[in-house]
C-alpha cells in the first residue's frame, strides 16, 4: 500500500504540473517545493496524522504517516521495520522510517528550459519484500 500511495502522489503531482502548464501558471510550481505531497491524493492514506513536529515524527505508531513541517518531509512508520534496509548497503546507520519530499527535478531532465518537480525519497532506507 505504501508504494501505491507514493505512486499515486507522483501521478497527482504530474497531473498538477500538466494543468499548471496548460493554464500558463508554471510560475506556481516553484512554490510547491517542500510542500506536502498528500495534497495530490484524492484519498488521504490510512493512518495519516496531518502535520507533525520532529518529536511527533519520532513517536509515530506503526502504520502512521505525518508531514514533518520543519524538515518538509512526508514520513511513514512501517509496520515491519525488519523489512527496511539502509542505503548504501553495509552502512551502520539506523533505519526505522521512510520519508519523501517534493523537490526540483534535475536540470538534465528539463526540456525547453522548464524544470519540473518530483517526489523523491528523503530517507537513507529502502523497503525490501521478504519471502518473495
CA atoms of 111 and 132, how far apart (whole Å):
39
The two most distant CA atoms of the chain are separated, in Å, by 48
> Is residue 115's pLDDT more than 90?
no
pLDDT on residue 48: 97
User: Which residue shows C-alpha cell 512508520?
Assistant: 77
Q: Identify whether the C-beta of residue 11 lies closer than 8 Å to the C-beta of residue 37.
A: no
Per DSSP, what are the bridge partners of residue 120? Answer: 101
pTM surpassing 0.75? yes
pLDDT on residue 89: 62
Q: Which three cell numbers stand for residue 2?
A: 505504501
> Is residue 109's pLDDT more than 80?
no
Amino acid at each position: 500500500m505504501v508504494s501505491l500511495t507514493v505512486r499515486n502522489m507522483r501521478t497527482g503531482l504530474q497531473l498538477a504540473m500538466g494543468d499548471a502548464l496548460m493554464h500558463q501558471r508554471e510560475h506556481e510550481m516553484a512554490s510547491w517545493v517542500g510542500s506536502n505531497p498528500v495534497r495530490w491524493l484524492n484519498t488521504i492514506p490510512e493512518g495519516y496524522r496531518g502535520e507533525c513536529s520532529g518529536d511527533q515524527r519520532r513517536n509515530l505508531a506503526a502504520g502512521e504517516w505525518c508531514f514533518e513541517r520543519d524538515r518538509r518531509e512526508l514520513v511513514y512508520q512501517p509496520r515491519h521495520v525488519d523489512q527496511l534496509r539502509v542505503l548504501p548497503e553495509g552502512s551502520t546507520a539506523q533505519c526505522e522510517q521512510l520519508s519523501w519530499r517534493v523537490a526540483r527535478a534535475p536540470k538534465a531532465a528539463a526540456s525547453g528550459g522548464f524544470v519540473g518537480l518530483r517526489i523523491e525519497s528523503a530517507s537513507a532506507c529502502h523497503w525490501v519484500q521478504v519471502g518473495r
